[in-house]
Structure 1
Amino acid sequence: MLRLAMTTDSETFTRIRDPLADRGIEVGHVQASERSLRVADRRDGTSVGEDVEFDVGFVYPSRLMEGAVVDTRLSVPWVNGRDAVVTSRNKAGVLAALDAAGLPTPRTVMVSNPVDEAVVADAVAGFEFPVVVKPNSATRGVGVAKATDLDSLLGIVDYLNLVHDYRATGDKSYLIQEFLPDANDYRVMVVDGAYAGAVRRELPADALEAGRWKHNVHRGAAATGVELGSAARELAERTAATLEIDYLGVDLLETGGRLVVNETNARPTVDAATKYEPDFYDRLASLIERTADGNGTTREA
């Protein structure tokens, strides 16, 4: 049986374990963070976790510093290696690549701190308020805010400036993006280059009435399986092809006759199988097996 290493033990680990076991792939957890990792002391062997052999890894660890150690010790090929995770995490880089490929995206400006207020004001010239402000490399809607006018935008930027003033902060950039009101928010799964299903993410009615607008599942939105049309499917597939990422979550926004790619995620959460295409796990298992065959060796964890 093929051994698959996962560096997360959250929802995705729980959901994919049994379906993949049914297809000859045993899933094991390797803790990559919130622990100590031996880096240069080999007296007790090369273990980064249990002394278990793995053939392939499922998505490079989210913490890149720890990931470098785990990657070296496991020495296995990954479904979505470090390059894929880094590419997808850079929201501005993704949008620039997609725009260059002719794919629709929201109007977006990246600001690289430090800049003065005049640069920020010039960046939004021509935008209509409200606008969305978001960190360039955060996930799950963390730090995303809506500015209703220039004063509120500069107030949000003040807080970002405080964070970016800390010398150890690596990413000192943020995005200013057009706000698309009343947009349908979809997370589309692409597996091995092909559409594999989608969910619509939506806040409860009372939350919407209270003025909330960020449809992140981790912030209380529900994810409902939906059937998307050919235009949305093709856009998600072209996004994955442009970024050259085999396994990708593509976030689409649809409103006012527009369909745009908002973000991507190379470490997407897997939802219930009923929300995806019937062959979702067959295709996922095939991708894992082919990734493992590309290396052809088995290493210690």
Structure 2
Amino acid sequence: MYSAVREAGTPSAKPYERMVNWVYNPGDFNPSHLDKIIADITDRWTAQAARHGFGFRFVEAGDLTPACSDRPRLWRDGVDLLETRQCYIVDDIGNDPQAVSYLHAISRVIDASDSIVLNHAMVAPEWLERDKLAMVGRAAQLGLKVPRTVALPFRRHAREGLEIVRREIGDGPYILKARESGTGFGVLKADTFEQLRAGVDIAAQTGKGYLVQEFLPNSGDIRVALVEGEVVTSMVREQSAGRYLSNIAQGGEARAGADFSPVLDDCLRVVRELRASYLCVDFLITDDGPVFGEWCTVMANFSQFPEPARSELADAFFRWAGRLLERDALPA
């Protein structure tokens, strides 16, 4: 089992620095939008962080070199960032398998040190943070209503999974998406089995794992943010007219203060099961009631929420990060 936010605390003789480092691979972003994405997030994070005495910075994964000699080290421009205890967010979901493996190396060497990977916020295997099939399976085991889901075999075997799709899900419509992805990127709605088969043929060439889910007509989704076992805030995301994705990055619209009472018990059950200290849980809003979508750790960050939910979650986030950072450590 995984315990990356050091639930019980780990004694540290090193000073800590109130800094959040967001490690990312620029190759995962459209070059024409990368500067805007970084500017928007930096603006929101820097202002919120400063209110709590934190600094914030983006760090390209290619500028870092993890190592271990007498202890874990993370080199950047000749400086070992692990000389002081800091907080990190490691964006380890991507399209390049080698880059993703390297991001895992970075996050794991940080975990081996006394610094903190904030997106490893659950006492569970780390892949349970990002594998949508694993999430659906665990949620179903906990008694949550989930969409029927089938994971596709790899490469030339992918079509073999279509027989199971038809058996488990029927004749459509379907959703085809990567098992490990975010922001609604590459999520394809197929209205017919023929369309799905063509989509699967394309997906099989990408080298990523894919799954198929039943498409459930919905009016959007509700996201509930919980920090240290308590609900902090919520939002509803709705599709723009004529669209099927409610993700804000794909044109969805958000409003804060959604009524989360119908899913509260499910959210608390998930958090208790995963022993998650920070988690956002998503549910599709259907005519038959809420259906579990997925959960996200710190990658579902406060900057995605509209105000006043954004500031509410930012306050809870930085208080939580500060307590983790200061536990058994010395100020710089």
Q: Deviations over 1:104-125 (max 9, x none)?
A: 2112122222426353123321
The equivalent residue for 2:253 is 222
Match of 1:178 in 2: 214
Counterpart pick for 2:145 among 81, 100, 104: 104
Pairing of 1:63-212 with structure 2 (within 5 A): 63=100, 65-69=102-106, 72=109, 75-81=114-120, 86-114=127-155, 115=157, 117-128=159-170, 129-164=172-207, 171=208, 173-205=209-241, 208=242, 212=243
SS of corresponding position for 2:76: coil
Given the alignment, which residue of 236, 261, 270 partners 2:302? 270
* Cα distance in 2, alignment partners of residues 251 and 134 from structure 1: 16
Q: C-alpha displacement at 1:184, in angstroms? A: 2.5
Deviates more, 1:153-162 or 1:218-227: 218-227
The unaligned stretches of length 5 or more in structure 2 are: 1-15, 24-37, 93-99
Contact 1:186 1:251 survives alignment (8 Å): yes
- Tell me which residue corresponds to 1:247: 278
Judge which range, 128-137 or 49-58, deviates more.
49-58
C-alpha distance in 1 between matches for 2:17 and 2:134: 35
Task: Give the AA of the match of 2:20.
Answer: A
In structure 2, what is the equivalent of residue 37 of structure 1? 64
> Is 1:59–2:92 an aligned residue pair?
no
Kept in 2: contact 1:6–1:30 (CA 8 A)? yes
TM-score (ref. length: structure 1): 0.79
- What amino acid sits opposite 2:152 in the alignment? V
Helix, strand or coil at the partner of 1:31: strand
Could you say what secondary structure the match of 2:87 adopts?
A: strand
Percent pairwise identity? 20
1:5 aligns with 2:33: no
Q: Would the aligned equivalents of 2:178 and 2:186 in 1 still touch at CA under 8 Å? A: yes
Residue 97 of structure 2 is matched in structure 1 by none
Shift of 1:143: 2.0
User: Structure 1 277/270 Cα, relative in aligned 2: closer, same or farther at 3 Å?
Assistant: closer
How far did 1:100 drift? 1.1
Q: RCO greater where, 1 or 2, for CA within 8 Å and sep 6 or more?
A: 1
Task: Give the drift of 1:64.
Answer: 5.0
CA distance in 2, matches of 1:118, 1:80: 35
Q: CA deviation at 1:274?
A: 2.6
Root-mean-square deviation (Å): 3.2
Sort the Cα spacing of 1:30 and 1:12 in 2 relative to 1 into closer, same or farther, 3 A: closer
**Number of aligned pairs?**
283
- Deviation, structure 1 residue 6: 2.1
Normalization by structure 2: what TM-score?
0.73
Pair 109,295 (structure 1): closer, same or farther in 2 beyond 3 Å: farther
Equivalent-residue separation in structure 2 for 1:49 and 1:273 (angstroms) = 37
Deviations 1:167-211 (A, max 9, x none): xxxx4x321111111332122222222211122212333xx2xxx
Contact 2:85 2:325 in 1 (8 A): yes
Check conservation: 1:48, 1:70, Cα contact below 8 A: no
- Number of the residue aligned with 2:319: 286
Taking the aligned partners of 1:156 and 1:269, their CA distance within structure 2 comes to 31
Query: How far off its partner does 1:76 sit?
Result: 0.4
Instruction: Quickly say closer, same or farther: Cα 1:295–1:71, change in 2 above 3 A.
Output: farther
**1:264 Cα offset (Å):** 1.8
Does the 8 Å CA contact 1:55/1:76 hold for their aligned counterparts?
A: yes
